Chains A and B, each alone.
Chain A
């Protein structure tokens, strides 16, 4: 027992150290790089907490796509003027430090004061699992017990895309987001852009398919597909899509719209909003997951590309 606890302890200490460096690094670029490695370490911690679904999501979205986004921003924004005030100094800094330590101690005492026999919904979730036809309880919670949260979450992604697009300037509207790749990308990047994406699509679809019984699901699969799409654009093989494209808009809202449609159909077919007809719920869930995966991949890709920047360039 002590050996595995020793591993957990060292993993936790390492994760906290890397997070500390991400917060305290001198330059912002170093802080972003440290944040990405922190995200990967955190995925390991999630595996140790026997939450493999969450580990996949943390590695894919938490450190993968977020990391790509932050590195792009760090490169564009840079460190800022050397003489500019970097951070709060003196008394304010000390006061904030004390406040944050007090917050941490408060949360720690709250956590330690929790009842010995932890209240849990696991028995209830396991008991109703057969009726959803799914093997993976997390997917059952996401798409059946608490389906409204997942529906609203996929709608939140669409809100974010609309929000990001409205930050463009008026003359750039209708144009294409700036391509992550340079105009004449290097040879090795193009090679990677041709080799890896087919494998990425295979892994993404597999992730969604096994999500019903094993760890995986629409969000993890969608992220891998989005990563493949971003790589293709970074390798200069494809130009980013124009935001006025009807197909792009339909693909972006297709997943949430289908989910909403099935939910409303639930009134008639299964006597409740977002309920699935008896015995067919697995089929409905898989159809929804497939559509969601495609829309999530498009949404994550568009969010990583950012606001449209170039109007009408060939």
Chain B
């Protein structure tokens, strides 16, 4: 049984890392702010989500698992607000002649 859990963890964490990697490459490759922002938010929400999902079975007790999910929730909240703000500024910059 533990083997299956470990396999599940490794699989999820690798999936998460994959999204982080693609996000990093996209950050370097994409031309302008908005597309980069798009890539980063994907990497952040999906990548982190998968890693947290993968680590959930490894936590000892419900409190630790709840803390992990809380971390993910705050990361989403922060990420969403930040991307909104940066997008606004980018839009204002682009609209200037």
Q: How far does the alpha carbon of A191 sit from the alpha carbon of B80 in the complex, in Å?
A: 11
* Distance between Cα atoms of A135 and B21 in the complex (Å): 41
Which residue of chain B lies nearest to A196 when distances are taken between CB atoms in the complex? B77
Q: Using a CB-CB cutoff of 8 Å, which residues 65-97 of chain B contact chain A?
A: 74, 77-78, 80-81, 84-85, 88
CA distance A188 to B78 in the complex (A): 10
The answer to whether A188 touches B74 (Cβ under 8 A) is: no
Residues of B within 8 A of A192 (CB): 77-78, 81
Q: Is the interface of A mostly helix, strand, loop or mixed?
A: helix
A201 to B11, CA, bound (A): 36
Q: Which A residues between 173 and 201 are near B, CB-CB below 8 angstroms?
A: 186, 188-189, 191-192, 195-196, 199
* 8 Å CB interface, A22-80 against B: none
Minimum CB–CB distance from A68 to chain B (whole Å) comes to: 14
How many residues on the B side are at the interface (Cβ–Cβ under 8 A)? Answer: 8
Residues of B within 8 A of A199 (CB): 74
Q: How many residues on chain A are close to B (CB under 8 Å)?
A: 8
Complex contact B74–A191 (CB within 8 A): no
A189 with B77: CB separation less than 8 A = no
For A193, give the chain B residue with the smallest CB separation.
Answer: B81
Is A186 touching B77 in the complex (CB atoms < 8 A)? Answer: no
B85 interface neighbour in A189, A195, A196, Cβ under 8 Å: A189
Give bound CA distance, A198 to B81, whole Å: 17
Chain A residues near B85 (CB, 8 Å)? 186, 188-189
Kindly report which residue of chain B lies nearest to residue A185, judged by CB atoms: B85
In the bound assembly, the distance between CA atoms of A196 and B76 in angstroms comes to 12
- Which of chain B's residues have a CB closer than 8 A to the CB of A189? 81, 85
> Which residues of the partner chain A approach B84 to less than 8 Å between Cβ atoms?
186, 188
Q: Which residues of B contact A196 (CB under 8 A)?
A: 74, 77
Complex Cα–Cα for A189 and B84 (A): 9
Contact B88 A186 (CB under 8 A): yes
Closest to B70 in A: A199
Residues of B within 8 A of A191 (CB): 81
Residues of A within 8 A of B74 (CB): 196, 199
A193 to chain B, nearest CB (A): 9
> Shortest beta-carbon distance, A55 to chain B, in Å?
15
CA distance A189 to B80 in the complex (A): 10
Specify the chain B residue showing the minimal Cβ separation from A235: B81
Which residues between 29 and 77 of chain B lie within 8 Å of chain A, taking CB atoms?
74, 77
Which of chain A's residues have a CB closer than 8 A to the CB of B80?
Answer: 188
CA distance A207 to B90 in the complex (A): 37
Q: B78 — which chain A residues lie within 8 A by C-beta?
A: 192
A192 to B77 alpha-carbon distance, docked (Å): 7
Q: Besides A186-B85, A188-B80, A191-B81, 11 other CB < 8 A contacts?
A: A186-B84, A186-B88, A188-B84, A188-B85, A189-B81, A189-B85, A192-B78, A195-B77, A196-B74, A196-B77, A199-B74
Which A residues lie at the B interface, using CB under 8 A? 186, 188-189, 191-192, 195-196, 199
A-B contact pairs, 17 of them (CB 8 A): A186-B84, A186-B85, A186-B88, A188-B80, A188-B81, A188-B84, A188-B85, A189-B81, A189-B85, A191-B81, A192-B77, A192-B78, A192-B81, A195-B77, A196-B74, A196-B77, A199-B74
Please list the 4 inter-chain residue pairs (A to B) with the smallest Cβ-Cβ separation, ordered nearest first.
Answer: A188-B84, A192-B81, A188-B81, A186-B85
